Chain A
């Protein structure tokens, strides 16, 4: 029985986090000595579907019905559950993305499966047990959950698993399912994408600003640094509460939890609620004028200094580095 992986697309394209999910699901399939079937729903080109094979899918089910072109939570959950049944898959893997968080629990309920949300590691299989590590307490800890049901749904946290290029290819099949009319009650009116920016949950590098930056008019240097590094911008809670930045940029225990390779915190004190959301970053750089700021205790690199002097200098240094690289 194959493992099934749902490969969500954004405007017909797969993001890096989806290749992570495919690689992760492939590793699970390998450990179970079985194959990997991917299911894609929407308007994805043949070339893009072929990429799923490259990262480990043996077979791709392509659902391209007009009614299913745009994401409808209820209908997509039905399609994924039906695909799991028709493939005989006991394990369904998807991304713990915004959409994935709406799908995984519904698919789980349909299949009578336990749901491991926010997974950050491969399943541990020992003594007939199936256990997965997930983030808990908003990044302050991890919980190991054992799924005791025969069927299992796993939602993988982005940036938790390395993409592995298998160089293989998949056969693509059309797949169609009858979805009941009442699954289409929620109607999409409009999608608004900020195309000029890197999305925060997907970013490899994040440049984040706090109240130390004094006001929204000072974010120019934060954005300039982010642009140079190909980074997303973020902020602390008081900054978004004050309306200096949008809520979608607020990271922390009550905001978005991020796990980039590099997190640069500028003028942020490092309150426990902020640290919760960024503790899984690989490398942390802190710029703060107060040497006693708690953020320095969890940072890998730090500069004690006034952001209004340090950041412009850092921008120059990055420019110089890029000119020689």
Chain B
């Protein structure tokens, strides 16, 4: 089985998000970048599904040379080989076009992404690639099992789940429950240095979206403390002052 895992390079979860140039640029100064946490889940499941010589896992990232440490991390975790599309990831549409182009030329049985990236949270790449390849896509899955030419997946819905049967090939975005992220071991880290990392040039894309500005949430006022014996007062405040109950 040939699996393609789409990975993105995102600010570490502890990053305090700030902007520069009159709130038009993300301030990357001093920011640690990591493999998107949801992509770690996708990668972990792909490695499990191909365990014991039962296939290969290729990771693909659209990014400039600065994303290579994150790609090497994915190789250290256990991907077989990697592809970097040499371009700044303008937006989900741009990224999806590049991935679809690569996938068309290299037939995969399964394509996985994380459910969303923790920077733009779009959940868009999987469905866009699905549309571009005309294969089924499932945006947010909590479980993925494969038997022969079919997969059984659990999809999250509000207040429950759907269980689907899907023929390969298809694309899905993974969430918690699909697999536990894997930590690279010493052997993985050593071998990652020599695993193939192919760099390819991007295809042209007609863009349709620009990020023009950023905002940070308005700060909240001072907390109003109520003593532990005055829960009735808290309820009253929530009713009369905050008007939320």
A185, A261, A284, A309: most-surrounded residue (chain B CB, <10 A): A185
| B156 located at the interface, meaning its Cβ lies under 8 Å from any Cβ of chain A in the complex | yes
User: Which residues of chain A are within 8 angstroms of B238 by Cβ–Cβ distance?
Assistant: 262, 283, 285, 301
> Of the candidates B136, B160, B217, B234, which one forms a contact with A314 in the assembled complex, judged by CB atoms under 8 Å apart?
B234
Least Cβ–Cβ distance between A35 and chain B, in angstroms: 25
B228 touches A109 (CB 8 A): no
Residues of A within 8 A of B123 (CB): 101-102, 105, 117
Task: Choose one: B92, B135, B162, B239; the contact of A191 (CB below 8 Å).
Answer: B162
Interface bin, chain B:
35 or more
Tell me which of B17, B131, B163, B239 has the highest count of chain A C-beta atoms within 10 A of its own C-beta: B131
Query: Among the listed A202, A280, A283, which residue makes an inter-chain contact with B159, where contact means beta carbons less than 8 Å apart?
Result: A202
Q: State A131–B212 Cα separation when bound (angstroms).
A: 8
Does B127 make an interface contact (CB < 8 A)?
yes
Residues in chain B near residue A163, CB distance under 8 A: none
Interface-lining segment among B80-88, B187-195, B219-227: B219-227
Interface string of A189-233 (1 = CB under 8 A from B): 111111101111110010000000000000000000000010000
A302 to B220 CA separation, bound complex (whole angstroms): 13
Please state if B161 and A192 are interface contacts (CB–CB under 8 Å): yes
* A-chain residues with CB within 8 Å of residue B166 when the two chains form the complex: 185-187
Number of A-B contacts (CB under 8 A): 288
Residue in A98, A102, A282 whose beta carbon sits within 8 Å of that of B158 in the complex: A98
Q: Would you call the interface of chain A mostly helix, strand, loop, or mixed?
A: mixed
What total of chain A residues lie within 8 Å of the partner, measured CB to CB? Answer: 103
Given known A-B contacts A283-B238, A303-B234, A74 and B160 have beta carbons under 8 A apart? no
Q: Is A109 a contact partner of B160 (Cβ separation < 8 A)?
A: no
Which residue from chain B places its CB closest to the CB of A96 in the assembled complex?
B123
Does any Cβ of A come within 8 Å of B145's Cβ? no
Q: CA separation between A322 and B75, bound complex, in Å?
A: 58
Expressed in whole angstroms, the minimum distance between the Cβ of B3 and any Cβ of chain A is 18
Contacts of A300 in B (CB 8 A): 220-221, 223-224, 242
The answer to whether residues A262 and B242 also contact, given A114-B93, A253-B118 and a CB cut-off of 8 A, is yes
Residue contact A302 to B223, C-beta cutoff 8 Å: yes
The answer to whether A187 touches B121 (Cβ under 8 A) is no
Whether B209 contacts A205 by the Cβ 8 Å rule is no
Of the listed stretches B55-63, B102-110, B170-178, name the one at the interface; the rest are far from the partner chain. Answer: B170-178
Of residues 202 to 245 in B, which have CB atoms within 8 Å of A's CB atoms?
206-217, 220-221, 223-229, 231-232, 234-239, 242, 244-245
Report the bound CA distance from A189 to B161 in whole Å.
Answer: 11
Contact: A304 with B228, CB < 8 Å? yes
CB-CB nearest in chain A for B237: A301
A148 to B128, CA, bound (A): 18
Q: Is B67 part of the binding interface, using a Cβ–Cβ cutoff of 8 Å?
A: no
A109 and B138 contacting across the interface, CB-CB below 8 Å: no
A205 contact from B122, B212, B245, Cβ within 8 A: B245
- Write the chain A residue with the least CB distance to B166: A186
Cα–Cα, bound, A148→B208 (Å):
5
CA distance A182 to B133 in the complex (A): 12
Are B231 and A254 touching (Cβ within 8 A)?
no
Interface of chain B, helix or strand or loop or mixed?
A: mixed
Task: Determine whether the beta carbon of B136 is less than 8 Å from that of A247.
Answer: no
Within 8 A of A (CB), among B112-166: 118-128, 130-132, 134-140, 142, 152, 155-166
Set A115, A144, A197, A285: member contacting B212, Cβ < 8 A: A144
**B223 touching A301, Cβ below 8 Å:** yes
B208 touches A198 (CB 8 A): no
**CB <8 Å contact, A199 and B216:** no
Q: Using CB atoms, name the residue of chain A closest to B130.
A: A106
Query: Given the complex, which residues of A lie within 8 Å of B242, measured CB to CB?
Result: 262, 282-283, 300-301
Q: Is B185 an interface residue (CB 8 A)?
A: no
B184 contacts A by Cβ under 8 Å: no
For A229, the closest partner residue in chain B by CB is B245
B127:A141 contact, CB within 8 angstroms = no
User: Which of A56-64, A167-175, A291-299 binds B?
Assistant: A291-299
A54 in the interface (beta carbon within 8 A) = no
Chain B residues whose C-beta falls within 8 Å of the C-beta of A303 in the assembled complex = 225-228, 231, 234
B231 close to A314 (CB less than 8 A): yes
Contact of B210 among A112, A148, A306 (CB under 8 A): A148
5 more contacts with CB within 8 A, not counting A101-B139, A195-B159, A314-B231, are: A106-B127, A191-B163, A202-B159, A272-B14, A318-B235
Which B residues contact A (CB, under 8 angstroms)? 11, 13-14, 16-17, 19, 37-38, 92-93, 96, 118-128, 130-132, 134-140, 142, 152, 155-167, 170, 175-177, 206-217, 220-221, 223-229, 231-232, 234-239, 242, 244-245
Identify 24 residue pairs between A and B in the complex whose beta-carbon atoms are under 8 Å apart, listed by A's number. A10-B157, A101-B140, A102-B127, A105-B124, A117-B122, A136-B119, A137-B120, A141-B216, A142-B214, A143-B213, A144-B212, A149-B209, A185-B136, A186-B166, A187-B164, A190-B163, A192-B163, A199-B159, A298-B220, A299-B220, A300-B220, A301-B226, A303-B226, A310-B231
Identify the 4 closest CB pairs spanning chains A and B, nearest first.
A199-B159, A305-B228, A114-B208, A149-B208
